């Protein structure tokens, strides 16, 4: 047995659970907890927050806080060299729980078209399943988010934050002012841009996983 073979056999295999309790991962776990509180308040507040306006404001703020922690754990992982396989896996899952959960509730309340949410869900669930599939293959690695996916998340979170904030309540029951019409036009435009990026980034993931390796 040569020296190189011995080195390969003796080197420890990287495990998914290595570094599971690293600080950046703890931030990711806390985001998942925030998702539970956010969804509970959002559902109880009702469509557009008509059942309880205060709950809708709080739910929107929790959504914004939870979405913001995505940048915090990513920054911590890179700065302190604590990028782990668990972090690469759980970070996008936490994002999907937050954004997809919000979109499902918004669609159920008639605030967002179901066709938008369904397209998002098909892509998000499909890519998540693909990540597990790739991870289970011999020598498989968790696929980190590429820039189109990251940009999609930014647009999606900004658009959903604008949709969740009940600015309609500032109209004082009068005829819809121009600023409110412009606000919601911009809100839905941002969400549609996120949808385009969502589908494009999904295609990029599929290409990088199944096509690009065969060309090497």
Q: Which CATH architecture has domain 21-209?
A: Up-down Bundle (1.20)
State how far the Cα of 163 lies from the Cα of 12, in Å rounded to an integer.
Answer: 48
- Is the pLDDT at 3 greater than 50? The verdict is no
Range in 58-72, 79-93, 114-128, 185-199 the model is least confident about: 79-93
The pLDDT, as a whole number, for residue 80 is: 67
Phi-psi domain of 32 (left: phi exceeds 0; alpha: psi -120 through 50; beta: other): alpha
Structural domain boundaries of the chain? 21-209
Contact 31, 94 (CB under 8 A): yes
The pLDDT, as a whole number, for residue 5 is: 42
State how far the Cα of 158 lies from the Cα of 137, in Å rounded to an integer.
Answer: 36
The pLDDT, as a whole number, for residue 183 is: 95
- Average pLDDT estimate for 163-188: 87
The pLDDT, as a whole number, for residue 136 is: 55
The pLDDT, as a whole number, for residue 203 is: 87
Query: Which tops the pLDDT comparison, 13 or 78?
Result: 78
The pLDDT, as a whole number, for residue 2 is: 39
- Is the pLDDT at 125 greater than 90? The verdict is no
pLDDT tens digits along 188-210: 999 999 999 999 988 888 887 77
- What is the distance, to the nearest Å, from the Cα of residue 136 to the centroid of all Cα atoms in its chain? 22
> How many Å is the Cα radius of gyration of the chain?
20
Closest CA to 104 of 88, 121, 87: 121
This prediction has a pTM of 0.80
Query: Which tops the pLDDT comparison, 58 or 23?
Result: 58
């Amino acid at each position: 047995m040569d020296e190189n073979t011995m080195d390969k056999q003796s080197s420890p295999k990287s495990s998914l659970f290595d570094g599971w309790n690293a600080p950046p991962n703890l931030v990711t776990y806390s985001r998942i907890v925030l998702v539970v509180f956010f969804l509970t308040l959002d559902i109880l507040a009702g469509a557009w927050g008509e059942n309880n306006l205060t709950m809708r404001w709080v739910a929107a703020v929790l959504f914004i806080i939870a979405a913001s922690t995505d940048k915090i754990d990513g920054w911590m992982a890179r700065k302190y060299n604590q990028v782990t396989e668990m972090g690469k896996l759980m970070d996008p899952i936490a994002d999907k729980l937050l954004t997809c959960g919000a979109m499902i509730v918004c669609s159920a309340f008639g605030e967002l078209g179901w066709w938008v949410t369904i397209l998002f869900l098909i892509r998000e669930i499909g890519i998540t399943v693909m990540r597990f599939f790739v991870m289970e293959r011999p020598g498989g690695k968790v696929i980190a988010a590429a820039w189109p996916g990251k940009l999609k998340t930014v647009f999606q979170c900004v658009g959903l934050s604008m949709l969740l904030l009940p600015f309609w309540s500032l109209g004082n029951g009068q005829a819809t002012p121009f600023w409110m019409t412009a606000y919601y036009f911009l809100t839905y435009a941002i969400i549609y841009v996120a949808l385009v990026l969502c589908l494009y980034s999904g295609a990029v993931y599929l290409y990088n996983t199944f096509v690009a390796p065969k060309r090497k």
